[in-house]
Amino acid sequence: MYRLIFSFLLGLTLFFTSFTIPVSSVQAVEPADLRLAGGDRYQTAIKISQSGWDTANTVVLARGDDFPDALAGAVLANSSKAKGPLLLIDSKTLQPDVLTEILRLQAQRVYILGGTGAVSDEVKKVLEDNGRSVQRIQGADRYETAAAIAQEAVSNSSKAFLAYGESFADALSVSSYAAAQGTPLLLTDVKKVPQVTLDALHKLGVKSVTLIGGTGVIGPEAAAQLQGLGYTVDRLSGDDRYFTNLDVLNRLSFNTSKLFVATGLDFPDALAGAVLAAKNNNPILLVPVQSELTAQTTSYLSSRRSAGSSFTLLGGWGVISYGMESMIRTGSTHARVSLQYWDGYASLDAYRKKLALIPDLATDYVDILSPNWRKSISEDGTLALQWGWDSSDYRTLAQEAQNRGLKVMPLINGSGSVIDTMLADPAARANLISQIVKLIDLSNTDGVVIDFELLNDADGPYLTEFMKALNAELKPKNKQIVMAVMPVTSPQVETWLAEYNYHDLAQYVDYLHIMTYDKHYRTSAPGAISPVDWTRQVLAYAKSAGVPAEKILMGIPYYGRDWAPTADGKWDSTAFGLTKAKELAAQQSAEIKRETSAADPVGVPYFTYSVTNPDNSVVQHTVYFDDEKSWDAKLSLLDEFNIGGIAPWAMGWLDSDSASLLFPLLKSHLR
């Protein structure tokens, strides 16, 4: 019975909290793509194309599995002869999605880079059969191909860039700038500049050459060879590809209002992205996949953030991890996530009011917003939406948040026998997963938050199977998964929560949101909703259960409760936000005290007051809530347990007064 009451009332807390505040205007900003990623390198290039071009008369096609013929392609793609995207293809066949993108762009002409060994004549034939004019640019080797591309793209230039032909990183560092400036990018060997490159320099009228990379990739012999031929030679370089990249970014004149970020360990994303970056002379920053950024890169990013730069990441989480993204966007060396439940069952305007509460820069305070658009879930897994499946408001609202640098992940919640039945049926589970994918596609959102409560103990394996299948569907699409689970201090204590196998569920999510609130709930006796010592016990159990600390999100309540005894000797309460709690104390002339303990010396605010009924009976009320001091104490647990972040419930309880107290705390603890 306790399990039933506890879960039901916690569900009520989660589903129906909302608070109305005066509307604030939401400033319209230019749409910003935070991450351009597809299921593979070819799809990512298509995403980049879709982001940058509505139409293009000409596109450039390059082989996607090897780089030599493609490195100079960005200069051609951005030249007056093309002004279109660079797409990647399989060397033997033209993928249907790539052809679809060419047709979407209404491109009439296609450049193919490299000979038939790089891109087959079958690809050329398919394009011609579809009415496209095709021109192949090729040479006997990578050096001659680069020279041919440069001469097709640029008729003459007093300056040229020269990069090592046996690797890609240095060429990619400068490719967007070369493309933006119309400066040819040519290739060389370590010790000797090939004759085809020298011939191209002469034909183009080049007077000065900038070498990209250190003496390990372009040796002093090659530099001396150029100087001996009368060229002025300088060099942009560093100890490795990342330091060379920084030297390029620091010494060339870029428009740094936006930075594109790509992995430095592979070429496709940076190659396709360089053409998009070149449109506005934006730089491309190269980063490692997993290791931390160097102090120099961190300093560069800090200066760009301070100047208000935005960041667009190229490629999925397999090449730029979420932790790396956090370091790029926030400067945090520990990827701490702020997931904010974005009101609930709200109107479009109500969601906008809460979005307007987040200060600029929004990513200093929030990473993910989770709106609740679910209307119902049927036993067969059919998902009904609040505004219907035909509404464009989901995408509109998500875009407004994404424009401010935030991710949006809809909340899919449910409880009770309907969810029990759905989880027990493999076909129903699959149906709901397909509906979730449909919603993500419809709204162009970044993932999903799953919250299933009031379940049977037997649902444990089904719940894990559901999350495993959801993971298999969303991860290839580069979508994130968060799961909200009930708070457990010990399996021997909360025996009614056996279905939440923290260890197993954590294998299939990016974050496990542990709902560390409602220790005292609507019909319990009065008490702190989320006392620090109890929260500490829950977090300790989660880590002992094998949940990686970086995956744990701690719940924090934005609400308080006013308890009063009922006629049958039990308790009931109403919930409200911090501002209302303070107003109520003032109205009742009640003294706000703090309930402290050795484990929580800061304490939780509370007060009592009495109400006299018409029959002259007196009802004693007890109010517990959280304020800036207790929030600060809870947030200190982030350091104590070194966990991944927070997921408070919920923005519906915030107004402009409480938000002004809360968000500076979030920034100080998270960033």
User: 604-612 and 618-624 as β-strands: parallel, antiparallel, unpaired?
Assistant: antiparallel
**pLDDT value of residue 19:** 32
- The confidence score (pLDDT) of residue 329 equals 83
Q: In terms of C-beta density within 10 A (0-12 exposed, 13-18 middle, 19 or more buried), how is residue 117 classed?
A: exposed
CB of 356 closer than 8 Å to CB of 365 = no
pLDDT of res. 342:
96
Please name the residues in contact with 623: beta carbons below 8 A apart, sequence gap of 6 or more: 526, 560, 561, 562, 563, 581, 584, 585, 590, 606, 607, 608, 609
Determine the length of the chain: 671
Q: What is the pLDDT of residue 35?
A: 87
Closest CA to 185 of 90, 68, 267, 266: 68
pLDDT of residue 31: 39
Looking at residue 334, its pLDDT comes to 56
Give me the pLDDT at residue 291, please: 66
Beta carbons within 10 angstroms of residue 474's beta carbon:
20
Half-sphere exposure of 133 (CA within 13 A, CB side): 5
- pLDDT score for 335: 63
For 285, the enclosing helix (H) or strand (E) is: strand 284-287
Q: Which burial class, exposed, middle or buried, applies to 139 when counting CB atoms under 10 A from its CB (0-12, 13-18, 19+)? A: middle
pLDDT at 405: 80
Classify each residue of 648-670 as buried b or exposed e, where b means 16 or more C-beta atoms within 10 Å of its C-beta.
bbbbbbbbeebbebbbebbbebb
Domain with CATH 3.20.20.80 in the chain: 336-554+633-670
**b/e code 506-525 from CB counts within 10 Å (16+ = b):** bebbbbbbbbbbbbbbbbbe
At residue 612, the pLDDT reads: 94
- Say what the pLDDT of residue 17 is: 37
Q: Rounded to whole angstroms, how far apart are CA atoms 301 and 196?
A: 39
Sheet of strand 159-164, all strands in order from the earlier edge strand to the far edge: 185-188, 159-164, 208-212, 232-236
DSSP 8-state code for residue 449 = E
Superfamily of chain region 336-554+633-670 = Glycosidases (3.20.20.80)
**In this structure, what is the dihedral angle of CA atoms 182, 183, 185, 190, given to the nearest 10 degrees?**
-170
Q: Residues in the chain with pLDDT < 50?
A: 1-31
pTM, 2 dp: 0.70
Please give the C-alpha separations between residue 571 and each of 94, 559, 561, 613, 622, in angstroms, as whole numbers. Answer: 68, 18, 12, 17, 11
3-state secondary structure of 398: helix
Per-residue pLDDT at 70: 85
What are residue 235's DSSP bridge partners?
211
What's the pLDDT score for residue 635? 97
Please give the pLDDT value at position 27.
33
Dihedrals phi, psi of 240, to nearest 5 degrees? -150, -175
